[in-house]
Amino acid sequence: MVAAVSPLTSWTFDPLQLTSLALIGLLYHRRVRTLAERGTRVEPWRLWCFWGGLATLFFVLASPVDALGEKQFLFVHMIQHIVIGDVAPLLMVAGLTGPILRPLLALPVIGRLRALGHPLIAFPIWAVNLYVWHLPFLYEAALHHDVVHALQHTMFFAAGALFWAAVLEPLPGPSWFGSGAKLLYIVVARVVGMVLANILLWSSSVFYSTYDHAARWGITPQSDQGIAGSVMMIVDSVVTISAIAWLFLKLAGESELRQRLIEEGHDPAQASRAVRYGRGEELASR
């Protein structure tokens, strides 16, 4: 008789997932190297962010996190989804710049999809995607059908990448969407996420039948669902506090540099744009 494999030691090396991640990493590496050869080096912190995001994706898709979350515990599955839909996109988008994306944007279809990164489009896509995939019949479908599960993960990542692209702006965004507007954008998004987290945390009903089983490791289905809501709430809080702190510091620094450039005689609009996209000191040195 073949011994059952414990979820704690179960690593899943799905060829499609691994090939996709490897291809993304290869394309990124080649583009960064090409830019370096042309004298346009990508900042080391961006490289660390991108590779860190790719590594976290690999970990939650291939490690025992996947096996434990798919059938055993909702809260583990929630951790996986938060990484796929929030943490990894944030890190990987932080690793991107306009020059890195230029070959991709040159493709006709991709170029037209750039509009999806507009904050007034990216936000509703992210919010609707989050809630729709947590509807019980769709969530259960993803758990029991590999194709639906792959689509769910892809859409979580894509929506998260669009959401963070509007904030981090690897490509220029609308002029009105400055640091103050971004602050409001993140706070509203986190409130939207908190509502779903509270529904999971406080509901007396178990929403997903796959996790409605006898207690495992002393965790009942209702407790499991409550922990999942707590995990979502904690991560949302950490991300919100970190983003608010970053934006406040950024806003203060931008205001000071912008005022200095204007006092030096630079056009206010030009000064604002240069500061917003990290070229303020370059403008000041001219």
* Tokens, residue 193: 């996420």
Degrees to nearest 5, angle at CA 98 with 96 and 99:
95
Contact 138, 132 (CB under 8 A): yes
Tokens 């009903």 correspond to what residue? 205
Contacts 24+ apart (CB under 8 A), 51-56: 51/25, 51/95, 52/91, 53/87, 53/88, 53/89, 53/90, 53/91, 53/92, 53/94, 53/95, 54/21, 54/24, 54/25, 54/28, 54/88, 54/92, 56/83, 56/87, 56/88, 56/91
Predicted TM-score of the model (pTM): 0.88
Contact 153, 21 (CB under 8 A): no
- Which DSSP state fits 4? P
* Domain positions in the chain: 12-248
pLDDT, tens only, 168-220: 989 888 988 988 899 899 989 989 999 999 999 999 899 998 888 766 778 89
Indicate whether 4 pLDDT > 60. Answer: no
CA distance 252 to 162: 26
Counting every residue, how long is the chain?
286
Bridge partners for 219 per DSSP: 216
CA distance 67 to 52: 22
Contact 42, 35 (CB under 8 A): yes
Q: Give 38's pLDDT tier (boundaries 50, 70, 90).
A: very high
CA distance 26 to 29: 5
pLDDT, tens only, 57-77: 999 999 888 888 877 899 999
Indicate whether 265 pLDDT > 80. Answer: no
Give the pLDDT score at 2: 38
* Tokens, residue 259: 């005022």
Give the pLDDT score at 57: 95
Q: What is the mean pLDDT of residues 19-35?
A: 96
